[in-house]
Chains A and B, each alone.
Chain A
């Protein structure tokens, strides 16, 4: 069915289709619309889930953990400080191998109180064992949320998945949305280690130095296995519903001499910038990274690379840029732009490409050499 929806509404529509038994959530701008919409679905009877209106994000994730370990599907949504407040529990959910699905509406961190788009919130969760996907359109927010359940609950994964969408730039933007009848695209959840009172077990108790690393290695093994599960799920999704996704969305990269790598809605600005640059004779391309975890192998051989980070690791660099440098062993032009919702247009992106200087870092609005 075709409609017009915001990114937040699209996530809620997908959650309705996925039918989680338990949803536990706490409101936070700019995510609130997701949980309001879900609460409305539950109240009206359109969804038969239990909606737990918890008193904090820490409790939201704890409640999802408690529900998930009984073997039922769970969902929550958060943003920014809410995500950071649940950080202890995001680690727990992943370590406990629970396929919780969460939408995170990317927002800056205080102080000051800034409610606009930035990726640093989710980036700070990158080492927790969650799979992370970043989307760029309302349709993709819907599609990625549906796929998140299937991927998280796959027996070879059993790790939580976070779907990231840019605060306001996507969460509150209206775009066309085609909803689907998912049929059996998400199979019934089967959690092999679900609590069973007839076969009692201890979960997460004292674990010694001779054992803990085994659990951590098992998480990494599943993270690696998730690559093929993601590929298979996206392929199946494309076959059923006609929309194709991958680890990256590549735009005119084939013959490109310079590639802009970015995440989220900036990737769409970059595509317009690429067209503009091409019309000027610059062989540019755009590579929008969709999956941050597992981090894909990027094909950037023979190309100059401009990385735009809407995030930062103080004392180190743009998180995406430093990750790409570590993987490709090549110099990149690292642009820090869009922090706290700073406006970045396709013209700005084209400007970054025109005046790129490999091996340097450029803070948009601070440094002047571009």
Chain B
């Protein structure tokens, strides 16, 4: 039987790191196929046992992701063609969700009214500021 999903894709699913369409496909497949749920549980067990995979380390450390500044240059069209082509590949073929989010945010900043962003930020601040504790958020080593 041909495997519908690669091991690396199942790992990325567990980390909420696959392109959204593929996340949805795996969710549907898990509901239909208990063996797939078992495969995912086996990956969790393998991780708990301390086995690493190159893909998850690569993804977690964002080793080939562009910086925010590089995405800005990408939008401005000032990167070399080869570098820009690679970033398009990283977005569209690898499907990096974090880079997609950064690019979407940069595009939105160009279009969104300042008021809308300020209102949202004020709401986040008001709902979270109570957790700010002078000296209480220091790192515990």
Task: Note whether A and B form a binding pair.
Answer: no
Seen from chain B, the residues whose Cβ lies within 8 Å of a Cβ on chain A are none
Seen from chain A, the residues whose Cβ lies within 8 Å of a Cβ on chain B are none
